[in-house]
Each structure stands twice: as structure tokens, then as C-alpha cells.
Amino acid sequence: MKILVVEDDKKLGGFLRKGLEAQGFVVDFCDHGDKGYTLATTRTYDAIVLDIMLPGRDGLSILRNLREKHATVPVILLTARSSLNERLDGLNLGADDYLTKPFYIEELVARLHALMRRSSGQQLTVIQHGDVTVDLMTRAVKRGSEAVELTAREFALLTYLLRAPGRTFSRTQICEHVWNYHFDPGTNLVDVYVQRLRKKLSSDPEKPIIETVRGVGYRISEVEEQP
């Protein structure tokens, strides 16, 4: 899940980035409204965490312009004020939720999960593919009845691929979404992590859950129907 955080308090922004990444999110962070608006309109995000008081474009104007462009990305507004009018303005402009500072990172994480379930039309927090089960809230992974221990990056890679079984993702797409940087043709980072996941998840080496599409990238294998 890729998140954009726009917050002019660099200390708070660093705290949010660290806390979200620890929960498996990929985070872009900026501390200026103009840059935040550029990122929001030129890159794809699963959600945006947007401070209202910003240098350059303020949060409400960014939100207004996004909705005028028919951008449907979920937006959580952050505000240091408890003014009812400000909260109403944000919600009327199309904000999906808001948090008043100070707040706990756990609350932000829970609200992000709720927003993304709502925007995707999903009510479940569990992804099931064959005998692999992934709980997005607890981050527990099982193969059959056996628990599988994954690192944060392995979990992010697995859930990214599992959301679209059968769809092939290039190494560039995987790098940008899971590691948040542009793909370097000279690195084998994606291949190494795919091999790690295969070892942890595949009970049959001849039928790995993650398939290689030669010259293109990787995909989650289709579930075979039982006769």
C-alpha cells in the first residue's frame, strides 16, 4: 500500500513515515504544499495523508483541486485545530476522514486500512489464494495450517502481487511500489526477494506460487480448480 504524506512539520513527518513503514506501507513524504500537489497528481497512491496548514498550497486547496480533477484517492486530513467549521470544510470538499493532532500512529494505520477496504469495496481484511492466507490487519501469513514468518518487505511484496492473481508485474512496478524507488537494471533485488518468498511459501518447488514471466516480471499463479 503506497501512501503520500504531506506534512510541513519534518519531525512529525519523519515519525509518520517511520511508523507507517514499520507497518508495511510504502511512503512518499514531502513538507510543501506545491510539491505535495505535484506528487498527488503525477503518481499513483492508495491513500494520501494531508496536513491542512502547509506552505504553498494549503491542504484544503490541494483536496479541492484533486476532487475537481475527479481524483478518487482516499484522503485523510491532519489538523492541529479542533474547529468544527474546518473539519466540515474538509469533509464537504471530499475528504474521507480527518485526525486532530496529536494522535497515535496506530489510529492512523487503522483508519488507512478502513479507508482502503471501503474504497476497494472490500469488507474483509483477509486475502485467500489457494492454501495461502494473508491477514492484512495482523499481518499473519499461513500456508495451509502452518504460520509463515515474513519480513516487512516480503509481506509488502506478497500482498502487492496477491491483489491481482494472474497479472504480471514488471520489476520496475514492483520496485516502485514495494521499495519506493526507480528500478536499477543492474540490481537483482526483486529476484532475491521473490526467491525468498518462494522458499517460504512453496510446498512444491515445481508449482511455485510466484511464477516468472520470462523477459517481463512476476505474477501470482492461478489457482487450479479441483476436478
Length reported for the chain = 227
Question: Averaged over 196-204, what is the pLDDT?
Answer: 84
User: Is the confidence at residue 81, as pLDDT, over 70?
Assistant: no
User: Is the confidence at residue 122, as pLDDT, over 60?
Assistant: no
User: Is the confidence at residue 185, as pLDDT, over 80?
Assistant: no
Q: What is the predicted pLDDT for the residue at 148?
A: 92
Q: What is the predicted pLDDT for the residue at 23?
A: 82
User: Is the confidence at residue 80, as pLDDT, over 80?
Assistant: no
Select the CATH number that applies to the domain covering 2-119 from these four: 3.40.50.2300, 3.50.50.60, 3.30.450.40, 3.30.1330.120.
3.40.50.2300
More confident residue, 199 or 186: 199
Question: Averaged over 184-190, what is the pLDDT?
Answer: 78
User: Is the confidence at residue 173, as pLDDT, over 80?
Assistant: yes
Percent of the chain with pLDDT over 70: 86
The residues spanned by each domain of the chain are 2-119, 151-220
Name the pTM for this structure. Answer: 0.58
Select the CATH number that applies to the domain covering 151-220 from these four: 3.40.640.10, 1.25.40.10, 1.10.3720.10, 1.10.10.10.
1.10.10.10
Q: What is the predicted pLDDT for the residue at 216?
A: 87
Q: How far apart are CA 26 and CA 48, in angstroms?
A: 12
User: Is the confidence at residue 206, as pLDDT, over 80?
Assistant: no
- Among 1-5, 58-62, 128-132, 178-182, the minimum mean pLDDT is found in 178-182
**Residue 214 backbone dihedrals phi, psi, to 5 degrees:** -55, 130
Q: What is the predicted pLDDT for the residue at 123?
A: 45
Question: Averaged over 132-159, what is the pLDDT?
Answer: 87
